[in-house]
Amino acid sequence: GFLPLQGHIVHNWKVRWFVLLQDKLLYYKLEGGKKEPSPKGRILLDGCTITCPCLEYENRPLLIKLRTKTNTDYFLECCSREERDSWALDITGAIHAGHPVQVQELHRKKNSFKLLANISLHQIVDKMHDSSSGIKLTPNMEQGNRYKETFTGSAVVDWLISNSFAVSRFEAVTLASMLMEENFIKAVGARSIEATRYSDLSEQFLDDSTALYMFAESYKKKISSKEDLQFNISELSGTIVKQGYLVKQGHKRKNWKVRRFVLRADPAFLHYYDPTKEENRPVGGFSLRGCLVSALEDNGVPTGVKGNVQGNLFKIITKNDIHYYIQASCKAERAQWIEAIKPLT
């Protein structure tokens, strides 16, 4: 599948098509809507270590870090927590292919955690900021360092339960860990930062009166602009139905680029983001009301499509008669996207 990868020499981000084999991870360049036949590079998994979640980039909270036995670091960014955990599990399984007991333990941990249903993290963090009913911010000291506007782990748990976002302290800790993973809150101070190094989601956040946390800078930046706030409220407030990497044909230059697509309901919108950019804002999007969506035949190049495209195409026509040509990685993925979009039109 598609994943953004950070370059080694120039630390920019490029989207590559990754293929996981038993002993290596290959990545390919996409040219003109088609994967190049030879890999652009490879990551040898023998002796490799994996860090997931990786917290080295504040505005990229869904990273996987791979360090080879020659101490070369690779950073891969996923589209969602579920996709990240799935990739991490499969890569770790390949790394430990000769140790079946470790692989079984990984699957046990993966299956023991279930995401809470009908939870909007944006709604929770907005309410946490409320001046009257939100979480109380206080200055705190730890090991000689003074932190402004912080809150403790136990205060977050108490607040989540009292506001009916969680029933038990275990649920509240899991929810707080999700807020931290999605970069809404961050750990400050030695004790809470150390806990974030655990790979198990349930152990990253401490229900403790001495563990300190604060709101992440990315949230402050997001609400600092009235224009951005208005845009988020009007279009980005819907429930996320589906998200993933797809290839899209440009309107003017007709070139093909990988974009992260996010499908939302109530209101029904499809937005797309440039995964190589640092800012997490859509580069385009449109309302799905009145749209037509259909699969395109794989034999030959359909009218309106440019380049040597390798099938799995579908088309969305907006009510303003704008045509979007989008390519999925396989027929099954194309069918899933069409099935998800149709009820929202």
pLDDT at 107: 57
What's the residue count for the chain? Answer: 345
pLDDT at 225: 44
Confidence of residue 198 (pLDDT cuts 50, 70, 90): low
Say whether 172 sits in a helix, a strand or coil: helix
Instruction: Please check whether residues 98 and 127 belong to one and the same domain.
Output: no
Instruction: Please check whether residues 255 and 292 belong to one and the same domain.
Output: yes
Of 174, 196, 224, the domain-final residue: 224
* Residue 317 scores a pLDDT above 90: yes
For residues 256 and 249, the answer to whether their CB atoms sit within 8 Å is: yes
How far is C-alpha 256 from the chain's CA centre?
22
Of 110, 131, 152, the domain-final residue: 110
pLDDT at 59: 74
Q: What are the tens digits of pLDDT across the range 214-246?
A: 998 755 544 444 444 344 556 777 788 999 999
Q: What is the mean pLDDT of residues 306-334?
A: 87
User: How far apart, in whole angstroms, are the C-alpha atoms of residue 343 and residue 29?
Assistant: 34
pLDDT at 341: 96
Instruction: Please check whether residues 214 and 301 belong to one and the same domain.
Output: no
Distance between the two ends of the chain, CA-based, in angstroms? 27
Q: Where are the alpha helices (DSSP H) in 212-269?
A: 217-224, 226-235
Q: What is the mean pLDDT of residues 252-273?
A: 88
Which residues, in sequence order, are CB contacts of 136 under 8 Å at separation 6+?
151, 155
Is the sign of the CA dihedral 250, 256, 257, 258 positive or negative? positive
Instruction: Please check whether residues 87 and 154 belong to one and the same domain.
Output: no
* Residue 18 scores a pLDDT above 50: yes
Edge-to-edge strand ranges of the sheet holding 49-54: 41-44, 24-28, 13-20, 2-6, 73-77, 63-67, 49-54
Q: What is the CATH number of the domain that holds 30?
A: 2.30.29.30
Q: What is the mean pLDDT of residues 24-47?
A: 87
User: DSSP assignment of 147-204, as one string?
Assistant: EEEEEEHHHHHHHHHHTTS-SSHHHHHHHHHHHHHTTSEEEESHHHHHHTT-SSGGGS
The residue among 34, 122, 12 whose CA lies nearest residue 329 is: 34
Q: Is residue 115 part of a domain?
A: no
Burial class (CB in 10 A: 0-12, 13-18, 19+), 29: middle
Q: Is residue 26 part of a domain?
A: yes
- Most confidently modeled of 282-286, 302-306, 334-338? 334-338
pLDDT at 118: 54
The CB density around residue 268, as the number of other CB atoms within 10 Å, is 18
Instruction: Please check whether residues 102 and 49 belong to one and the same domain.
Output: yes
* Residue 323 scores a pLDDT above 70: yes
Q: What is the CATH number of the domain that holds 142?
A: 1.10.10.10
pLDDT at 227: 42
pLDDT at 300: 65
For residues 192 and 55, the answer to whether their CB atoms sit within 8 Å is: no
**What's the number of CA atoms in the CB half-sphere (13 Å) around residue 275?**
28
H helix or E strand, kind and range, residue 104? helix 100-112
Which residues, in sequence order, are CB contacts of 303 under 8 Å at separation 6+?
none
Q: Is residue 300 part of a domain?
A: yes
* Residue 98 scores a pLDDT above 80: no
Q: What is the mean pLDDT of the chain?
A: 81
Higher pLDDT, 221 or 287: 287
pLDDT at 245: 93
For residues 2 and 17, the answer to whether their CB atoms sit within 8 Å is: yes
Is the sign of the CA dihedral 233, 238, 243, 247 positive or negative? negative
The number of distinct structural domains making up the chain is: 3
Among the ranges given (76-90, 92-106, 234-248, 284-298), the one the predictor scored with the smallest mean pLDDT? 92-106
Q: Which amino acid is at 231?
A: F
Q: Is residue 116 part of a domain?
A: no
Say whether 80 sits in a helix, a strand or coil: coil
Instruction: Please check whether residues 162 and 103 belong to one and the same domain.
Output: no
Instruction: Please check whether residues 239 and 337 belong to one and the same domain.
Output: yes
pLDDT at 167: 77
pLDDT at 99: 60
pLDDT at 230: 43
Residue 64: both structure tokens together: 């996987």
pLDDT at 246: 93
pTM of the model: 0.61
Q: Which domain range does residue 88 map to? A: 2-110
DSSP bridge partners of 294? 315
User: How far apart, in whole angstroms, are the C-alpha atoms of residue 81 and residue 70?
Assistant: 28
Q: Is residue 316 part of a domain?
A: yes
pLDDT at 297: 80
Instruction: Please check whether residues 208 and 240 belong to one and the same domain.
Output: no
Say whether 90 sits in a helix, a strand or coil: helix
* Residue 302 scores a pLDDT above 80: no
User: How far apart, in whole angstroms, are the C-alpha atoms of residue 173 and residue 113?
Assistant: 12
For residues 272 and 257, the answer to whether their CB atoms sit within 8 Å is: no
Higher pLDDT, 341 or 174: 341
Q: Is residue 19 part of a domain?
A: yes
Higher pLDDT, 102 or 265: 265
